[in-house]
Structure 1
Amino acid sequence: MSRVSENSSSAALNFSLGKAKSKLEDLQMKGATLKDISRPSDNPISNVEALSITSNMSDNKQYQRNADYALLHLNVTEKSLEQLTDLLVKAKEIAISQSSDFYNADVRKNIANEVNQLRNLALSIANKRVGQKYIFSGYSTLTQPFDVAGKYNGDKGHTTVEVAKDFFLPLNLNGHEIFYSSDDTSDKNIHPLKEIKEPDTSKPVENKRELASTEGENFHKRDNIFAQLESLSVALETNDAVLIQNLLEEFDDSISRLITLRTRVGSITSSVMNSKSRLESENIEGATRKSKLVDADIAEVFSDITKHQSVLKTTYQSSQGLMNQNLMDFLR
């Protein structure tokens, strides 16, 4: 007949109590943190997926901040283009009204002062900043894009920002494409020297003098919004109705170019807003999935706590006789 020692009974009792306490502590921890996973070993697969979702949500939050930054620049750019368009429409209205012979030289000289103010306003719009950065200077955001004479000092770069994973959008327009004509204003006629037939090289010819080189960069006429306003002002001061009439087509081209640029900015703004909305939707879906993986079921947790508290209490009561024994109980 085998006999169970007192040490074995005590060890079995301590093991049962420790197991019940450990399970109750885990449930109480879940109830306090409302998390089903408190350490990676609880559920390694769910923990890896939850970490991946957390990383993606963190990236999306940065993309959303980038989108907000892009929207700020695009809204300022669109507002500036709107103001510049209204300015040119006003200048065109002045040119239309002053192109007829109805007004005399004195009236046109007075109107020239208004045109000069329009030019100053255009220069102010051209040098607009967001914070400390100029929005129309390309990559050279700390360089003032236009000087007093209307010369462009920036570059033709477009700053891009990542508003979604591997999705980059430009957030600015450079001053060259806004204020300068988009057409190549260089001489499009074929150079007359190119039509001359090459000389017969079989006979030696003694050169009497060196010909100047005809190759080089094309010359560009000064065709920009500032030049148009200056030309209108000069035409009004000199009472030149013909020049005023010739400026109407140039104003139409500039206004059409600005409308095209405003359309481009609007399409970029729409893309940024769509991307931002998509990121918000992804964050909601990610948070829902992460909650299913990590968060604990409150009703189930507190129900299990109550159940295991009863189990632990019953274990204490059943082991009370063994735990309260002393030396006299063994001597009887």
Structure 2
Amino acid sequence: MRVTGKMMSTNAISNIQNNMEKMDITNDRLSKGTKINLPQDNPIGAVKVMSYQTALTEIEKYLENVDNAKTYLNSTDVSLTQVSEILQRIRELAVQSANDSFEQTARDAVASEINELIEQLVVVGNSSIGGRYIFAGYNTQEKPFKIFTGNDLLKEGEEATLDLTDVEGNLRKNILKDVPVKIDYTGDQGMMMTEVDKGVTLEYNVTGDKIFKNKEGDLFKELLYLRDSIYKGDVNSDKDNDGHTIESQIGELDRIFNMIMKYRSQVGAKMRRIEQVEARLEDNKISMSDLLSRTQDTDITKSIMDLKTQENVQRMSLSVGAKVIQPTLVDFVK
């Protein structure tokens, strides 16, 4: 084959251009930190990258759902702990007032403290997080519990008993005028659900009607019966035949306390499951991020070595090209 000067010059320029293109690609990968910047760089790898990125986005969303559910359950657990502590204090007061040697003035003081504790229970029942009431079911924007005194009921046109008759037959007039006599639950029974994995959903709330007012007993009513029995000084005689005495209400308190503990254990079980799901999602996130990095990210060490090699080759190409292209016919005409 006949080789001309033009062919040698063209080949030299082509080699220089190819080397510059390789250096540009390597520089681009180093500056961007990724080796797949366009689908044509690696079609199969580009598909994998999109798949990994989609999976990571889903995992992040599931982790966000898990974090929200954990926050809700933690708040619920704290509130139920407070409920348990309040009930324990009320039981202590009830046991004290059941002592026959207790004077009525002392019992009245106990009843006053129980009124305060009932109001505190309502505050706990209206616990919120991020502006959402945790015991309200779906109706999270409104307080689920509303407390009424005897006067409040009269103002709203409802019937209300303001007087009590003690075991001695004495009328205690207007004793229920300014204290709690009714607590309403205005929430619903909606169960909050969240997706924590593809096709996997978890409930993460407990509605107030289950904790404070359900078929097993109405906590607030039982506490009001206890308070009234203390005001009446009715330890165990039940002279007015209303079915409630201090001693009988202590038994009701124990039963309701056990019910509260049951729901606390359910909340604890949900928290443990949520934590297990979170740990698995974190592991999946690490694994998926590693796959994405290995598929997409630039191997810095290898790319720097490649760039150095390409720079040396380019210098050699320029040197050879200079010798090939430089001579012309003029150089030989003297």
Q: TM-score, normalised by structure 1?
A: 0.82
Aligned with residue 279 of structure 2, among 270, 277, 280 = 277
Question: Is residue 226 from structure 1 mapped to residue 228 from structure 2 by the alignment?
Answer: no
Q: Quick one: distance in 1 between partners of 2:305 and 2:214?
A: 75
Alignment RMSD, CA only? 1.8
> In the alignment, is residue 235 of structure 1 matched against residue 234 of structure 2?
no
| CA contact 2:13–2:321 (8 Å) conserved in 1 | no
For 1:135 and 1:34, locate their aligned partners in 2 and report how far apart those are by CA, in whole Å.
46
Between the aligned partners of 1:135 and 1:35, the Cα distance in structure 2 is 45
Which aligned pairs between 1:1-332 and structure 2 lie closer than 5 A? 3-148=2-147, 149-183=182-216, 223-242=217-236, 243-326=245-328, 328-329=330-331
Tell me the secondary structure at the aligned position of residue 68 of structure 1.
helix
The aligned amino acid for 1:30 is R
Say whether the 8 Å CA contact 1:181–1:254 is kept in structure 2.
no
3-state SS in 2 of match to 1:35: coil
CA distance in 1 between partners of 2:264 and 2:198 (Å): 26
TM-superposed deviation, 1:11: 2.4
SS of alignment partner, residue 150 of structure 1: strand
Identify unmatched segments of 5+ residues in structure 2: 148-181, 237-244
Q: Is the 8 A contact 2:9 2:321 kept in 1?
A: no
Q: 3-state DSSP class of the match of 1:251?
A: helix
Displacement of 1:326 in angstroms is 4.8
- Structure 1: runs of 5 or more not aligned: 184-222
CA contact (8 A) 1:162 1:169 kept: yes
- Secondary structure of the 2:146 match is coil
CA distance in 2, matches of 1:38, 1:287: 17
Relative to total residues, which structure has the larger strand share, 1 or 2? Answer: 2
Q: Partners in 1 of 2:199 and 2:51 — Cα distance?
A: 18
Determine the C-alpha separation between the residues in 1 that align with 2:299 and 2:105.
86
Q: Distance in 2 between matches of 1:13 and 1:106?
A: 111
Deviation at 1:329, TM superposition (A): 3.9
Secondary structure in structure 1 of the residue aligned to 2:25: helix
Q: Distance in 1 between matches of 2:224 and 2:299?
A: 74
Q: What's the offset of the Cα at 1:121?
A: 0.6
Amino acid paired to 1:278: R
Cα displacement string for residues 268-296 of structure 1 (whole angstroms, at most 9, x for unaligned residues): 11111111111111111112222221223
C-alpha distance in 2 between matches for 1:306 and 1:129: 62
The structure showing larger relative contact order (alpha-carbon pairs under 8 Å, at least 6 residues apart) is 1
TM-score scaled by length of structure 2: 0.82
* Secondary structure at 1:245 match in 2: helix
User: How far apart, CA to CA, are the structure 2 residues paired with 1:146 and 1:307?
Assistant: 75
Q: Deviations over 1:210-230 (max 9, x none)?
A: xxxxxxxxxxxxx41111121
Cα separation, 2, equivalents of 1:295 and 1:123: 56
Q: What are the Cα deviations for residues 38-69 of structure 1, in whole angstroms up to 9, with x where unaligned?
A: 32212211221122111111221122122221
